[in-house]
Amino acid sequence: MSTDATPDPYREQLAFGQRLQILRNRRGLTRDQLGGLVGRSGSWVKALETGRLKTPALPIILRIAEVLRVGNLSDLTGDQSMHIALFTGPGHPRFAAVREALNTLQLGGTREAPSAEHLSARLSRAWQARHSASNHRDVIGSLLPDLIQDAQATVRAAETVADRKAAQASLAQVYFLAQFFCAYQPDAPLVWRVAERGMMAAQDSEDPHAIGLAAWLTTQAHRESTHLDAADAVTLETLRYLTPLLPDAGADVRAVAGALTVEAGLTAARRGETGTAWRYWDNARALAESLPIDYFHPVTSFSRSVIGAHAVTVAVELHAGGESARQAARAEAEAIPSRPRRARHRIEQARAYHLDGQPDVALATLAQAHEAAPETIQYNGHARRIILEEAEAKSPQRRRRASELAVRLGVLTA
């Protein structure tokens, strides 16, 4: 290795400050940006990186890890006793079978293709199961291997251009379902491969709804990797494509446009652009209000019932404590029909209350998230960060409540 090569914080024995600087640079953040996102200054970050300040306490380490999307605390601290995963889940028991189905190359075409109607009905049932089951990852994981292979076989068996485009749209939806399942599993490259396959299938289908969904999922993957410019490029280009279609479009396409508009707002919020973030949210609210009262998009969950939940996330991403808590108190989770989306909203409410200095309310809200959909909170890095932070709280009662939640999530052993 050349002497000017960047050290690898995952292999080299480096000080905390050196690891912090390397990981921050890899995420493309300045010191001022990182400091602002954890409630400190750029000079404070510099002092940490140069060793003028000692390694901070665990609550601050957890906040830094959350911003940098560090998969494991030991990657940041260098302390192997802190081998705790944040944004990578424990690995679902059905993950190996799903990964094998995604990685298998089927060239022989020996698998009999189901009818388009049969495949569509199975996809519809799979999305319904995802929203209704508390153990939604387990349910989806059991369905995906056959769905993946059957959808690929349907594309191969298509005899006309129209049939092939319809089959590609169905295959894209299968990849979207797989991307939900594979998120936060211990194979990040697989998530990107699935996202790319979903985008390719959607583009081949020439279906605006499928293209919009592929862009929606790709945008989230970029933003969670802190590639904000890439997230904007995908979101805004797709919105330019969809906007002329909206006057004559059905509810599904308008809902996808609304979901993409929310994503643009969340990316702006991640940058700290308050006015832009709320402008996009206002535009998304207008699209939500154009939908039927009881409409709920089966993939994005976009609807009138979740627009308030999106407001909570915008405020949280802007690190506006008081506004976050106000939005959290205003947005009603019980109106959301999807169990995993309801649980995710509870987690966002918990982030808001924690940001506002209400840790007891945050822990109680996380307990509600666990009740709604245990598998959602189990794989959520924001929830894990709050629970681990409060497990070190000065209050014995709060430590006990946080530790009990940590054990239920598998973050700590009993």
Q: What is the pLDDT at residue 85?
A: 58
In angstroms, the CA 270 to CA 228 distance is 8
In angstroms, the CA 17 to CA 76 distance is 9
pLDDT, tens digit, 9 for 90 and up, residues 28-54: 888 988 888 787 888 999 999 998 888
What type of residue is 300? Answer: T
Contact 311, 299 (CB under 8 A): no
Tokens 């291997």, located at residue: 145
Q: What is the pLDDT at residue 339?
A: 93
Instruction: Tell me the mean pLDDT in the region 371-393.
Output: 89
Q: What is the pLDDT at residue 57?
A: 80
pLDDT, tens digit, 9 for 90 and up, residues 170-186: 999 999 999 999 888 87
Residue 329 predicted with pLDDT over 70: yes
pLDDT, tens digit, 9 for 90 and up, residues 142-198: 999 999 999 999 999 999 999 999 999 999 999 999 999 988 887 888 989 999 999
User: Distances in Å between the alpha carbon of 391 and those of 194, 359, 361, 386?
Assistant: 36, 11, 15, 9
User: Cβ atoms within 10 A of the Cβ of 164, count?
Assistant: 17
Residue 3 predicted with pLDDT over 50: no
In angstroms, the CA 384 to CA 221 distance is 19
What type of residue is 327? Answer: Q
Contact 354, 360 (CB under 8 A): no
In angstroms, the CA 63 to CA 83 distance is 16
Instruction: Tell me the mean pLDDT in the region 223-231.
Output: 88
Q: Which residues pair with 72 in a beta bridge?
A: 85
- Terminal alpha carbon distance of the chain: 44
**How would you classify residue 357: left for phi > 0, otherwise alpha for psi between -120 and 50, otherwise beta?**
left
Q: At what angle do helices 136-157 and 95-103 cross, to 10 degrees?
A: 10
Contact 109, 156 (CB under 8 A): yes
Contact 130, 340 (CB under 8 A): yes
Contact 171, 158 (CB under 8 A): no
Q: What is the pLDDT at residue 128?
A: 92
Tokens 């190359």, located at residue: 105
Task: Name the pLDDT band for 82 (thresholds 50, 70, 90).
Answer: low
Domains defined for the chain, CATH in brackets: 16-82 (1.10.260.40), 90-205 (no CATH)
Residue 231 predicted with pLDDT over 90: yes
Tokens of 172: 């894209």
Contact 351, 390 (CB under 8 A): no
Instruction: Tell me the mean pLDDT in the region 229-250.
Output: 96
What is the share, in percent, of the chain residues with pLDDT greater than 70?
Answer: 92
Q: What is the pLDDT at residue 375?
A: 87
Residue 413 predicted with pLDDT over 60: no
Contact 263, 219 (CB under 8 A): yes
What type of residue is 140? Answer: I
Q: What is the pLDDT at residue 13?
A: 67
In angstroms, the CA 229 to CA 241 distance is 18
pLDDT, tens digit, 9 for 90 and up, residues 335-350: 899 999 999 999 999 9
Q: What is the pLDDT at residue 34?
A: 86
pLDDT, tens digit, 9 for 90 and up, residues 86-142: 656 567 889 999 999 999 877 666 788 999 899 999 999 999 999 998 888 899 999
The answer for residues whose C-beta is within 8 angstroms of residue 149's C-beta and 6 or more apart is 101, 104, 106, 111
